[in-house]
Structure 1
Amino acid sequence: MTDDNSRALYDRALSVMPGGVNSAVRAAIEPYPFFVQKGDRGHVIDADGNRYIDWVMGLGPLLLGHNLPESVQAGIQQKASEGPMYGTPTEIEVDLAEFVVRHVPSVEKIRFVNSGTEATTSAVRLARGYTGRNKIVVMQGGYHGAQESTLVEGDAESPTPSSAGIPQAFAEHTLPVPFNDEDAMREVFEKHGEDIAAVLTEPILGNHGIVYPEDGYHEFVREITTEYGALHIFDEVITGFRVGGLGCAQSEFGVTPDLTTFGKIIGGGFPVGAIGGRAEIIEHFTPAGDVFQAGTFSGHPVTMAAGLETLQFAAENDVYAHVNDLGEQLRSGLTDIVADQAPSYTVTGTDSMFKVIFTREGPGRDELDGQCPAGSRQDPDCPRYEFSPKDAGDVKAAESDRWRRIFWGQMKEQGVFLSQNQFECQFVSYGHIEADVEDTLEAYKDAL
């Protein structure tokens, strides 16, 4: 396996782009990332002609894989051929809005934007404008895009910016608490409840490992936000239209948030974001209300066509059955491999998401009877329960350097492309087949 062309391209890129990339996570691969030439169903082919089974799927947007079904491709091409954009509304954005409103329980109205970051930024502004309050509660290690209000670390007593360029005064309005910790959430509301505009959380932590919620946690958050008059915001940029099918993760957990942010799949692989929720809240966006929100490329007709065609295809075909079944096969196979070769490690994920977290402690090989058969689900009866990550801090304590510096490269050498670090999700697409799962499990056996 050679990488001469990727190395030469990266050398050129370093001269004209910071770090040689346009998104920081792409440079996590050492000593340099491989450059992709094209996709093929569930695979990518790099600039040197090497083929990899692709479990990154563009970091989540590619539900259908790299080769789009004919009807989806035709719908996208038709809109592209009619003209790139117009600066005025088009019917296709209404069509996609109606589709989302029909299928997602909490969404009565929706505003389309251009990225997940733009969606969460706008949702935070909307929550503050609607409630007249300033503070936002977030989960430690949760990720809500590259925005000032959520690039915050520490805890609720001493929040600090997690990036240069963000004033400390911004961070003081953000209150980080551990995921799955009801006591910490209750404490922050008892102290700051009158000035908390919203709790912003992913249904499943998806950017700091895959951390599943404890039973009843989201119901608790829903109750305490209602009690204090704060908004409950689900960030479904990752889980939206992947976990729980067309109803998204909120339908799987049976929780109705006030606002939901979307991205990735809702644009069918094109740049997109969206904020949906109760009509009385969404209508506070301009021009109906007083919370400013606008964007030149918002509701872009090609993106809207890609999103609508993707979701309609998923609704009318066996997409979710296919990807969820392969996801189950992967997690089940990985559970068996880990039990045999690395019993301290934790298999996580649900539906078409999966990951092995290199946790440092776990039950012994002879203590695994009755374990969750296809990934940790925070089941107290599972022998892995007390060792399974409950929050981002538990994932951060894992052997992340071993994952990135040794394991990732071993998988690449066997033709398997995994996410660029220990923390990012991995995804199954409609383009994957059972042979991809079987080959990947064999590679895990060798690498672990």
Structure 2
Amino acid sequence: MNYDGSRDLYDRALSVMPGGVNSSVRATQPYPFFVQKGDGGHVIDADGNRYIDFVMGYGPLLLGHDLPESVQSAVQRRASEGPMYGAPTEVEVELAEFLARHVPSVEMVRFVNSGTEATVSAVRLARGYTGRDKIVIMEGSYHGAQESTLVEGKRDETAPSSPGIPESFAEHTVTVPFNDEDAAREVFEEHGEDIAAVLTEPILGNHGIVHPVEGYHETLRELTAEHGALLIFDEVITGFRVGGLQCAQGTFGVEPDITTFGKIVGGGFPVGAIGGKSEIIEQFTPAGDVFQSGTFSGHPVTMAAGLETLRYAAENDVYEHVNRLGEELRSGIADILEDQAPNYTVVGTDSMFKVIFTREGAFGDGHCEGGCTQNPSCPRYEHCPKNGADVDRAETERWERLFWPAMKEQGVFLTPNQFESQFVSAAHTEADIEEALEAYKEAL
């Protein structure tokens, strides 16, 4: 492939943007390719190279790049009526009603502008509602670029993971390994009266894809209820992707007190949302005392795109399509790994997928063919990742420096490191899956 156009654009970008990009995960080696346009389940770069796109904007593009006519019409109509108003619109109410109607734990919603803003606001809300300061998160987790969760370390011995964050922020953040029930119980025994909330993704999607072991979320639900703390599910990634319209919490049958949303809820436009029980969400101003506000919150174009995307998904068997293709892709990759790289682990569920370059383990009778589900009877159970640290121990350098470039050269666009999820969209086809599997076979 020729990348001269992308190289020239990157050269220009380095002069006016730090690292030549506006999000650090886009900084691939030796330089990123620059996208010219999307086309269904594909993207085309500045040099005319065409790729099967499994990044899908890091998750928002459930329907792919070619939006259905109903979604396009809604977006164009709202944009033609004026960009924004600084006043409420009916479409905000309609999207909030859709979320409350379909997501088990949601009675009321506050819209914001990004997943980061949603989790920042949810943490502030939990602290304001409970009158407590400490937040429990999973080790290695990512909940947006916010000071309270950009920490490293174990238990209550944490420190900021980035310069520019005062140590005092980390003092109020406690970490536990995902899937470690004993660690969660010990933290509550020590700090239970000071914990405002536990914040976790129902399925880790920003640090590999790690499925919960059976009973883990139920344990968090019991512990938070017992100690008067809140359970926050970060469904920015899993929301309206895992579990369909009920989201991941519907799949697992655990209702959090607060849920954060993003990505698909905006139909490809910037969005975030905080949902939950009315008595909690009403603590936001102006109904309550926990301050939250934003000039672009509930932007009419975003609200229209999100509402029509979710309506289209509900009425056109989108989830059946994307989940079936996701299952075919994960199962096909597992077959390839069994022959070529039996140490590696296929992870994901529904329309999420990834290969973790684990260092141990082997396939055998009864393994999880469609992605690791933490099944104790699986012969890989002792070796598949249980938390972020397990993913860190995988061959992340090999994934980034050898595997990702090899897939790119074969026309398959994956997230450029081993940690972020990859996604199937409604625009992908059986032919795309077959082509991708051939690329995996070659690259592995």
Please tell me the TM-score bracket, short chain as reference.
Answer: over 0.9
Mapping for residues 351-366 of structure 1, pairs under 5 Å = 351-363=350-362
CA distance in structure 2 between the partners assigned to 1:342 and 1:351 by the alignment: 23
CA contact (8 A) 2:38 2:66 kept: yes
Q: Does 1:7 align with 2:3?
A: no
Q: Secondary structure at the match of 2:400?
A: helix
What corresponds to 1:406 in structure 2? 402
What corresponds to 2:384 in structure 1? 388
What corresponds to 1:26 in structure 2? 26
CA distance in structure 2 between the partners assigned to 1:307 and 1:16 by the alignment: 32
Instruction: State how many pairs are aligned.
Output: 444
Q: Does 1:176 align with 2:175?
A: yes
What corresponds to 2:62 in structure 1? 63
CA distance in structure 2 between the partners assigned to 1:419 and 1:146 by the alignment: 19
Q: Secondary structure at the match of 1:421?
A: coil
Deviation (angstroms), 1:369: 1.2
What corresponds to 1:147 in structure 2? 146
Mapping for residues 24-423 of structure 1, pairs under 5 Å = 24-27=24-27, 29-363=28-362, 368-423=364-419
CA distance in structure 1 between the partners assigned to 2:100 and 2:439 by the alignment: 42
Q: Secondary structure at the match of 1:274?
A: strand
Q: Does 1:442 align with 2:438?
A: yes
CA distance in structure 2 between the partners assigned to 1:8 and 1:140 by the alignment: 39
CA contact (8 A) 2:156 2:171 kept: no
Q: Secondary structure at the match of 2:389?
A: helix
CA distance in structure 2 between the partners assigned to 1:271 and 1:219 by the alignment: 32
Residues 146-185 of structure 1: CA deviation (Å, up to 9, x unaligned)? 0000001111131010110001111010001100000110
Deviation (angstroms), 1:217: 0.4
Q: TM-score normalised to the size of structure 1?
A: 0.99
Residues 53-90 of structure 1: CA deviation (Å, up to 9, x unaligned)? 00000000000000000111101110010000000000
Q: Secondary structure at the match of 1:154?
A: strand
CA distance in structure 2 between the partners assigned to 1:157 and 1:299 by the alignment: 37
What letter corresponds to residue 434 of structure 1 in structure 2? E
Single out whichever of 350-359 and 155-164 deviates more from structure 2.
155-164
Residues 344-372 of structure 1: CA deviation (Å, up to 9, x unaligned)? 00000000000000001112xxx511111
What letter corresponds to residue 46 of structure 1 in structure 2? D
CA distance in structure 1 between the partners assigned to 2:197 and 2:268 by the alignment: 29
The two structures, once aligned, show a CA RMSD in angstroms of 0.5
What corresponds to 2:421 in structure 1? 425
Q: Secondary structure at the match of 1:287?
A: coil
Deviation (angstroms), 1:293: 0.1
Over the matched positions of the two proteins, sequence identity in percent amounts to 77
Q: Secondary structure at the match of 1:385?
A: coil
Residues 301-359 of structure 1: CA deviation (Å, up to 9, x unaligned)? 00000000000000101100000000000000011111110000000000000000000
Deviation (angstroms), 1:233: 0.2
Structure 1 residues not aligned, in runs of 5+: none
Q: Secondary structure at the match of 1:159?
A: strand
CA distance in structure 1 between the partners assigned to 2:141 and 2:349 by the alignment: 18
Q: Secondary structure at the match of 1:52?
A: strand
Structure 2 residues not aligned, in runs of 5+: none
Deviation (angstroms), 1:209: 0.3
CA distance in structure 2 between the partners assigned to 1:287 and 1:112 by the alignment: 14
CA distance in structure 1 between the partners assigned to 2:156 and 2:314 by the alignment: 46
Q: Secondary structure at the match of 2:157?
A: coil
CA distance in structure 2 between the partners assigned to 1:14 and 1:52 by the alignment: 24
Deviation (angstroms), 1:17: 0.4
